[in-house]
């Protein structure tokens, strides 16, 4: 159970663990019932002592469920990083976690599983954190899917002043918004509003090849070389550098002294690769259909 919630500002999973811990444990039991010999581990960072205390108390009589306290560090919530921290098992790019005997589910996912199986409730709600120094009354809100972001901000008291930066998601992996006319989806996690956009105030300068991005990368990639491929629009080079395995955690952009938008570049390149793969697949399908039609006509002749 991924209850790490390592992104700064986000506290929705933490509130879930405090208010509905029985549903989290119940969802984990449902999953464990599919694998009789499996053991469940609820992984929580040590900056959430109250959640650790509550869940440890509630699982003390469960033989196959254990609460694991982890050191607080980012991006420990990543699937591969969490598996390594808890089990010591390394998951490389060529295999899936299941190939190493591990399954990872988020806190909210397990609660949704419990509600679906034990209460016959579909996934129709999401908990979002609304915070930032521009928000009047920060808090967590349980809302139906489809709720407008503007309604959430209004429920939090609105803005104390017009924010310069609004982010959907965490500050490291979230996406900037230019308007709040956006619906809540099952992947939504938070709305962050800041009075100042500190990132954009820092000028972007040429790369000095310091290597800090490579040291900070949790997946052991080479962001400095990947960015060169991005600037050259070299898809083959980017793929050869395993750029598609980037988890978009933002660590490289955060530590870069030149303030280069590395993560944004990798996201754009991955979208380009995905679009190119879709285009090739469509072209191959069309060619196969044309070949089939030509063969049928030849047979009729």
pLDDT digits (tens, 9 = 90+) for 250-269: 999 999 999 999 999 999 99
* 7 touches 13 (CB < 8 A): no
Residue 217, token pair as written in the block: 């990368």
Residue 211 shares a structural domain with residue 184: no
Residue 189 shares a structural domain with residue 252: no
Sign of CA dihedral 85, 88, 93, 95: negative
* Residue 60 to residues 25, 36, 55, 86, Cα–Cα distance (Å): 12, 19, 8, 19
Residue 43, token pair as written in the block: 């992984």
CATH number, residue 88: 3.40.50.11540
Whether 2 is covered by a domain: the verdict is no
Q: Coil, strand or helix: which one is 84?
A: helix
Q: What local confidence, expressed as pLDDT, does residue 14 receive?
A: 94
Number of domains in the chain: 3
Q: Using 50, 70 and 90 to split pLDDT, how confident is the model at 296?
A: confident
Whole-prediction pTM: 0.85
Residue 215 shares a structural domain with residue 265: yes
Biggest alpha carbon–alpha carbon distance for the chain = 78
Residues 6+ apart with CB under 8 A from 110: 1, 23, 24, 27, 28, 31
Q: What local confidence, expressed as pLDDT, does residue 283 receive?
A: 92
Whether 3 is covered by a domain: the verdict is no
- 104-113 in b/e form (b: 16+ CB < 10 A) is bbbbbbbbbb
Q: 45 forms bridges with which residues in the sheet?
A: 70
pLDDT tens digits along 33-68: 999 899 999 999 999 999 999 999 999 999 999 999
Whether 186 is covered by a domain: the verdict is yes
Residue 150 shares a structural domain with residue 225: no
* Residue 40 to residues 13, 31, 34, Cα–Cα distance (Å): 18, 9, 12
CA dist 180 and 153 (Å) reads: 9
Q: 106 forms bridges with which residues in the sheet?
A: 2
Q: What local confidence, expressed as pLDDT, does residue 91 receive?
A: 86
Q: What local confidence, expressed as pLDDT, does residue 93 receive?
A: 79
Q: Report, as an integer, the average pLDDT of 159-188.
A: 91
pLDDT tens digits along 129-158: 999 999 999 999 999 999 999 999 999 999
Alpha-carbon torsion angle 200, 202, 208, 210, nearest 10 = -90
Whether 5 is covered by a domain: the verdict is no
Domain endpoint, select from 58, 88, 118: 118
Q: Which is higher by pLDDT, 99 or 114? A: 114
Residue 223 shares a structural domain with residue 252: yes
Q: Which is higher by pLDDT, 294 or 65? A: 65
The domain containing residue 104 runs over which residues? 12-118
Residue 21 shares a structural domain with residue 92: yes
Q: Using 50, 70 and 90 to split pLDDT, how confident is the model at 198?
A: confident
Q: What local confidence, expressed as pLDDT, does residue 184 receive?
A: 94
* 225 touches 260 (CB < 8 A): no
Q: What local confidence, expressed as pLDDT, does residue 40 receive?
A: 95
Please count the other Cβ atoms lying within 10 Å of the Cβ belonging to residue 98: 10
Domain endpoint, select from 118, 142, 169: 118
Whether 146 is covered by a domain: the verdict is yes
């Amino acid at each position: 159970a991924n209850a790490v919630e390592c992104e700064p500002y986000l506290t929705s999973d933490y509130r879930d663990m405090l208010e509905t811990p029985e549903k989290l444990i119940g969802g984990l039991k449902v999953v464990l019932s599919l694998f009789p010999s499996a053991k469940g581990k609820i992984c929580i960072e040590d900056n959430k002592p109250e959640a650790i205390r509550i869940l440890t108390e509630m699982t003390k009589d469960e033989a196959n469920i254990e609460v694991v306290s982890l050191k607080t560090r980012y991006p420990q919530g990543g699937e591969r990083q969490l598996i390594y921290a808890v089990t010591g098992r390394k998951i490389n790019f060529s295999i899936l976690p299941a190939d190493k005997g591990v399954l990872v589910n988020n806190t909210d996912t397990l609660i949704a599983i419990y509600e679906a199986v034990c209460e016959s409730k579909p996934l129709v709600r999401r908990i979002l954190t609304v915070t930032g120094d521009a928000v009047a009354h920060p808090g967590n809100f349980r809302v139906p899917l489809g709720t407008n972001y503007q309604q959430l901000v209004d429920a939090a008291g609105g803005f104390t002043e017009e924010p310069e930066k609004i982010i959907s998601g965490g500050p490291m992996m979230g996406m900037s918004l230019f308007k709040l006319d956006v619906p809540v989806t099952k992947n939504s996690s938070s709305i962050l509003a800041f009075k100042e956009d500190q990132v954009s105030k820092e000028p972007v300068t040429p790369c000095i090849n310091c290597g800090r991005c490579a040291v900070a990368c949790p997946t052991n990639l080479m962001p400095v070389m990947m960015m060169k491929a991005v600037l050259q629009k070299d898809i083959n080079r980017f793929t050869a550098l395993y750029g598609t395995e980037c988890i978009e955690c933002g660590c490289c952009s955060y530590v870069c002294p030149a303030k280069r938008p590395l993560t944004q570049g990798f996201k754009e390149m991955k979208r380009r690769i995905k679009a190119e793969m879709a285009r090739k697949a469509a072209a191959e399908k069309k060619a196969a259909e044309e070949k089939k039609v030509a063969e049928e006509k030849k047979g009729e002749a």
